[in-house]
């Protein structure tokens, strides 16, 4: 049976990216040896690194003065690497979910970290508005898509200080005005590649301003100088990321991707609103994520929660169970999820409604 992959991460990737990774594991770039056993300093792998960086710059229209890095350690390592490199006195954090909270917690180790606003009072089901970013902060940190709670900041906000964003789960889902950010980072395993590689887009003029000594491996300048080859980079995930970026480029880039993503999200949110059994967990449509669509059973049908999960899994839907802090269901509709999978879920919801 065809599976419909709604996992939140690691998650669905383009078929072509997976197939070409399998081929490269067998015989990488006609070298006659596996991608898994070739030197990262070979000219064949250097070409992968160069093209992956170039496609990042092309697809996100990254201006001069920025560098694209591929590092290990996951987005969680960036939670402390950012303040280590940027926080001298004070930083502001927008606390819109669990990951944002974890980033905020790490920053407090290095200096004064301020919670500028939070949506914790309503279990993170909205994006705070009308907050004031302290103009004396070294930077302001946001999480653009809250993977667990299904809220998203869909526009590039204006900040009087350096803007830093965790874009783990919405990178490449829409055009981004990179010039508004000093640093963007994310784990690759939501929208780009298997786990193991973390991307960082950093503007060089924000670095070198803190007084603390920075260990070599967590100094961004080390990786800029060495082209992400100071130590052995995560070779396989970088290769798959390149294949995903080629797929996206062939599809027409991030504007086209955004159009498709909006179609998928609209289809599903409309059904959640229409169907008597279900309701969305994020009340305000403008705050709803187009990547992670969270919904629950309507109060009167709460006892059907597990029955629906079972019904859906019998039809090939995987990864629909909501995160434990929200409950219900979460359909992750990342770039590589085909529209047919969303249509299949919508029919499944309609059929389930007809039975109850």
Query: Which region, judged by CB under 6 A, interacts with ligand PLP, from 18-26, 69-77, 308-316, 331-339?
Result: 69-77
Report the distance separating Cα 37 and Cα 30, nearest Å.
14
CB of 234 to ligand PLP, least distance (A): 11
Q: Which is nearer to ligand PLP, 20 or 244 (CB)?
A: 244
> 329 has which bridge partners?
295, 321
Interaction of residue 9 with ligand PLP, rule CB under 6 A: yes
CB of 298 to ligand PLP, least distance (A): 28
User: For ligand PLP, which residue of 118, 119, 125, 169 counts as binding (CB under 6 A)?
Assistant: 169
**Nearest CA to 162 among 184, 143, 147?**
184
DSSP 169-233: TTTTSS---GGG-SEEEEETTTTTSSTT-EEEEEEGGGSS---S---GGG-HHHHHHTTT-SS--
User: For ligand PLP, which residue of 76, 258, 305, 313 counts as binding (CB under 6 A)?
Assistant: 76
Phi, psi of 206 (to 5 degrees): -85, -10
Residues assigned a catalytic role: 99, 166, 190
CB of 30 to ligand PLP, least distance (A): 32
**Nearest CA to 28 among 6, 11, 45?**
45
Interaction of residue 92 with ligand PLP, rule CB under 6 A: no
Question: Tokens representing 211?
Answer: 């007084």
CB of 190 to ligand PLP, least distance (A): 6
Interaction of residue 187 with ligand PLP, rule CB under 6 A: yes
Question: Tokens representing 346?
Answer: 């919508």
What is the number of the residue whose Cβ is closest to ligand PLP? Answer: 187
Which residues here bind ligand PLP, judged by CB under 6 A?
9, 74-76, 99, 143, 147, 166, 168-169, 187, 190
């Amino acid at each position: 049976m065809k599976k419909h992959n709604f996992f939140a991460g690691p998650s669905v990737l383009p078929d072509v990216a997976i197939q070409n990774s399998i081929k490269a594991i067998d015989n990488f770039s006609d070298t006659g040896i596996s991608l898994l056993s070739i030197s990262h300093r070979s000219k064949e792998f250097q070409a992968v690194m160069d093209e992956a960086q170039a496609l990042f710059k092309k697809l996100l229209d990254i201006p001069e003065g920025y560098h694209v890095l591929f590092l290990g350690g996951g987005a969680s390592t960036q939670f402390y690497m950012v303040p280590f490199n940027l926080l001298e006195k004070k930083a502001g954090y927008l606390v819109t979910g669990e990951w944002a909270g974890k980033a905020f917690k790490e920053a407090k180790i290095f200096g004064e970290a301020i919670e500028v606003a939070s949506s914790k009072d309503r279990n993170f089901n909205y994006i705070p508005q009308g907050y004031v970013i302290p103009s004396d902060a070294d930077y302001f940190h946001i999480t653009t898509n809250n993977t667990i709670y299904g809220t998203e900041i869909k526009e590039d906000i204006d900040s009087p200080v350096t803007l830093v964003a965790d874009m783990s789960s919405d990178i490449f889902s829409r055009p981004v005005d990179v010039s508004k950010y000093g640093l963007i980072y994310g784990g690759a395993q939501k929208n780009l590649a298997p786990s193991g590689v973390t991307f960082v887009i950093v503007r060089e003029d924000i670095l070198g301003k803190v007084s603390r000594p920075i260990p070599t491996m967590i100094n961004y300048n080390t990786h800029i100088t060495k082209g992400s080859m100071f130590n052995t980079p995560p070779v396989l995930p970088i290769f798959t990321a390149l294949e995903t970026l080629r797929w996206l480029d062939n599809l027409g880039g991030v504007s086209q991707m955004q159009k498709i993503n909006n179609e998928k999200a609209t289809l599903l949110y409309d059904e959640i609103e229409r169907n008597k059994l279900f309701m969305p967990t994020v009340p305000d449509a403008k705050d709803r994520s187009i990547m992670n669509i969270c919904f629950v059973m309507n109060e009167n049908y709460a006892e059907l929660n597990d029955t629906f999960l079972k019904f859906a899994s019998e039809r090939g839907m995987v990864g629909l169970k909501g995160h434990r802090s929200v409950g219900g269901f979460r359909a992750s509709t990342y770039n590589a999820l085909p529209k047919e999978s969303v249509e299949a879920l919508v029919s499944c919801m309609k059929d389930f409604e007809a039975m109850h």
